[in-house]
Structures are given as structure tokens and as C-alpha cells.
Amino acid sequence: MNLQKDGIRLHKSNFNAIGQQLQPMLESGDCYRLIIKPWKEKRSLSQNSLMWLWNGDVATAVNLHSASKLTEEDLHEFLKDMFCPAKPVTVLGVTKMVKSTKLLDTEEMTFYLRRIEVWCIERGIKLRIPANSEYHAKGHDHV
């Protein structure tokens, strides 16, 4: 078992193994920060696929009424700027707040997608929700 940069899933069955990995670090005399918080899975591939499907749906709708043609990537940046929560990312001791869907857990990603869905409904933009998507399974009907 290796301690991973983005955390390790702690449960009763691996508690002792984690302690064995931490023990040599503590013997050095250095101090460490240990943060325990509920485990949440990273956003799913299904959520990511739905997001990109919607980026295309929004780009298609916007391009019908705009002289400048926007790509799915353009819409991704636009929607991310509007609705994605900023998260701290530290590089070489410098921490910046970054908006990235890659950093969202499944719950945060569902909330992000819901905000996009509401924004689109308010503007009459139709979004596809595949019947087999997790989003549909969580009770969100087709728009």
C-alpha cells in the first residue's frame, strides 16, 4: 500500500497497514499534518462524458445565433468560469485557486452539471441526457 498524493481511502481493514507506513516518517522527528475527512469519489467518466456532450449541445445552440463560432472547448471554459467551484492547487509552495472539473468529486460534479442544466433551461437550450447516464439515474429527467 502506498500513500497517494490525493489521499488514501481509510477504513477499518487497512488502518494497521497505513500506521505501519506512517511510523518511519514519525521516527524522523518531523511533524506532519494529517487531515481526516469523509471519502468522496472523484467525478466519474459518465459525468465527464455528459459534460462534454452538453458543451457540444450549448455550442451548437449558441452558434445558431452568433457570428463567431464557438467550440466545445470554448464553452467548457465559459461554463467552468461561471459555475465550477475554485479549489486550491499548490505548486512549489505557491497556492492558487483553480477552476477545474478534474478536481471535483461526484457530488460536486452533479451540482456543477445541475447548474449548467438550469442555465440552459432558462435560455431555452436543449440538452441531451442519455437514458443510461448516471445523471439520468439520479432522477434528472430529459430536458
Q: Which domain holds residue 131?
A: 45-137
CATH of the domain at 82: 1.10.3790.10
Given a contact cutoff of 8 angstroms between Cβ atoms, the answer to whether 80 and 115 are in contact is: no
The domain tally of the chain equals: 2
In this prediction the pTM is: 0.71
Given a contact cutoff of 8 angstroms between Cβ atoms, the answer to whether 104 and 43 are in contact is: yes
Q: How far apart are CA 59 and CA 63, in angstroms?
A: 6
75 Cα distance to chain centroid? 16
Q: How far apart are CA 138 and CA 56, in angstroms?
A: 22
User: Do residue 35 and residue 96 come from a single domain?
Assistant: no
- Identify the DSSP state of 98: E
What pLDDT tens digit does each residue of the chain (143 aa) get? 566 656 676 777 877 777 787 888 888 888 877 777 776 778 889 999 999 999 999 999 999 988 889 999 999 999 999 999 999 999 999 999 999 999 999 999 999 999 999 999 999 999 999 888 877 666 555 44
